[in-house]
Chain A
């Protein structure tokens, strides 16, 4: 039926009308996701990564937002062309979402049990009894201790990490084919973050679902994803298999992001920071949107929008100097390899 892709997003554009004029929150995004794979989408706040994913299941608040153009092929059908009630049959059933803030994403006025039950009653036709038992089972699956007694609690009686587990239980209730996790750990303590990520990983392996993991934290995606997309100002800046992107970044922005990840083994005493602030998407410069913050920007970057350069079979970068940056990365990696191999050799 198709090329093994569960999800294909083609030239997606989502714009918002604001007081400052039209904001192109997502401006021509394309990517594909195979069954069982995990895709990471990385970017600073305002880069359009959340809007992309809300667009996939058509949850953009309209107005002010609207999906201007594009296709979202989910298992071969274009979600953007479906009727509202057809999309609803996909939401929660085949595509589920986990949101950033577990404190506000659960209904504070409703018992956990009811919030979990309504999704399987809706999509799987469970009776109350079945849904209730299923809810307890799901809470046990996500590791909530004493699930049977806690299922009738209210969200405020749970800690942040526990609430995110409830969110995950809710999302996975109907065994969706695609799980979109929008910054699932941002609002949590560091120790809890690792637990939640591990949980998502385990459950993904158990159910075979594909996952889109949205984050601004490169550390989060490193061990979790097969492919990565780096977004900036509503555009894909770089796209590559995760290992390749980490090893051989082909875009100055990605390089900056990578350098700003703290590395406990390095001896540098100051953390690198990309200078300047995230762009004001309502007033983008004419040329490359990253140019004002880019160390290697030249005159052409201010003037012309950069091309989307293919570096290898699966590696793309949006930059006038993509090839040069990529080669530098290769050289650095080569020398690093050399250094580490000499170091290795040095040991008797």
Chain B
């Protein structure tokens, strides 16, 4: 495939950790049609069932779930991510209901249009009203941070979905068709890989800046999604290569199922494990890139604000009003931290090769 790259003869190419053939699930006999994700069983379970002591209902997924729950850091990540997500979705609404502060409502009283610290009123006494303080225009930071969470998470998830769509399709088609087409398609990926894509993204965003917040958001999805599908394509292709000669695919082909149907109904669902792992790890990467672009002024536009924009706005006042940067910055770091741990945990849980003895 890569005759321009150094190869290790007869050995694992350690430079492509995504392509672990052992991840390919093994199948029960007669398990030919795969619509539900209850499909695969690990080697140990095959042996167990042949020995007669079947562990009831043990599927790859239940096994993985059990392993995931044993991983304290991953559970921590899962809990934090859930809390942040729920707070971001419902928080701004609840704050509006209880205190009347909307993320973008500037107080009508001119005396209140200034930045005051967490748990303080403008005159310096203690108050629960603004647990994260306010920004320069007297807007409640908590409400802004939570709404920023909505934007950041949305950008992360949607851009990841875009990359999933492109990457899975591309990788599955290349892997299934194989031969020359595969060679060509993967060569394109190799070349794209070596491009300094972030430079191109900056040029793209600088040149095509939209004047509407929604337009800019769309542009971001496209820009971020279209640069993060490459690894996904490689992973899926590797999976498909190892899956396509298995009996259930041969059976489907023999019974005259069309090629697109084989790819997307029979093969793609079976690459789900690594795809989920990689998608989970893509979300924080995308969010980080979005924050980076926001920092440069190419991100989401006002009145929308992501964590990246909020933190960037806070940087100017870091010496006087540190909370303006610290709260959005730290919330974002904590979320990314948790997402990364969750992704790592999922990888350990779904990749039996990496299992600790």
Contacts and interface: CB of A to CB of B under 8 A. Distances in A.
B333 to A, nearest CB: 33
A280 B356 CA distance: 18
B51 A277 contact: yes
Nearest to B63: A19
Contacts of B199: none
A280 B47 contact: yes
A156 B51 contact: no
A202 B51 CA distance: 43
B357 A156 contact: no
Nearest to A64: B357
A277 B357 contact: no
B79 to A, nearest CB: 23
Interface in A52-70: 61, 64
Interface in A16-49: 16, 18-19
B51 A280 contact: yes
Nearest to A156: B9
Interface in A277-293: 277, 280, 283
B50 interface: yes
A335 B357 CA distance: 50
Which bucket holds chain B's interface residue count? 10 to 19
A276 interface: yes
Which bucket holds chain A's interface residue count? 10 to 19
Contacts of B357: 16, 18, 61, 64
Contact of A277 (B11, B50, B356): B50
Interface string A257-279: 00000000000000000001100
Nearest to B50: A277
B109 interface: no
A209 B93 CA distance: 82
Nearest to B67: A19
B53 interface: yes
A276 B9 contact: no
B48 interface: yes
B53 A283 contact: yes
Interface string B35-70: 000000000000110110100000000000001000
Interface in B329-357: 355-357
Nearest to B47: A277
Nearest to B9: A156
A61 B357 CA distance: 10
A19 B357 CA distance: 7
A150 to B, nearest CB: 18
Interface in B224-242: none
Interface centre among B9, B51, B53 (most CB of A within 10 A): B51
Interface in A143-191: 156
A108 B9 CA distance: 12
A292 B48 CA distance: 14
Interface centre among A16, A64, A108, A280 (most CB of B within 10 A): A280
A145 B174 CA distance: 47
Nearest to A61: B357
Interface in B274-304: none
Contacts of B47: 277, 280
Interface string B99-142: 00000000000000000000000000000000000000000000
Contacts of B67: 19
B9 A280 contact: no
Contacts of A156: 9
Contacts of A64: 356-357
B6 to A, nearest CB: 13
A19 B68 CA distance: 13
Contact of B51 (A18, A108, A276): A276
A22 to B, nearest CB: 12
A87 B330 CA distance: 51
B352 to A, nearest CB: 11
B204 to A, nearest CB: 43
Interface string B1-24: 000000001010000000000000
Contacts of B48: 280
A215 to B, nearest CB: 23
A163 B9 CA distance: 16
A61 B11 CA distance: 24
A283 B52 CA distance: 12
Interface string A275-318: 01100100100000000000000000000000000000000000
A293 to B, nearest CB: 10
A23 to B, nearest CB: 10
A277 B357 CA distance: 22
B222 to A, nearest CB: 44
Contacts of A18: 357
A337 to B, nearest CB: 40
A108 B355 CA distance: 25
Interface string B147-168: 0000000000000000000000
A18 to B, nearest CB: 6
17 contacts: A16-B357, A18-B357, A19-B67, A19-B355, A61-B357, A64-B356, A64-B357, A108-B11, A156-B9, A276-B51, A277-B47, A277-B50, A277-B51, A280-B47, A280-B48, A280-B51, A283-B53
Given A276-B51, A280-B47, 12 more contacts: A16-B357, A18-B357, A19-B355, A61-B357, A64-B356, A64-B357, A108-B11, A156-B9, A277-B47, A277-B51, A280-B48, A283-B53
Interface of A: 16, 18-19, 61, 64, 108, 156, 276-277, 280, 283
Interface pairs A-B: 9 shortest CB-CB: A64-B357, A18-B357, A277-B51, A277-B47, A277-B50, A280-B51, A16-B357, A283-B53, A280-B47
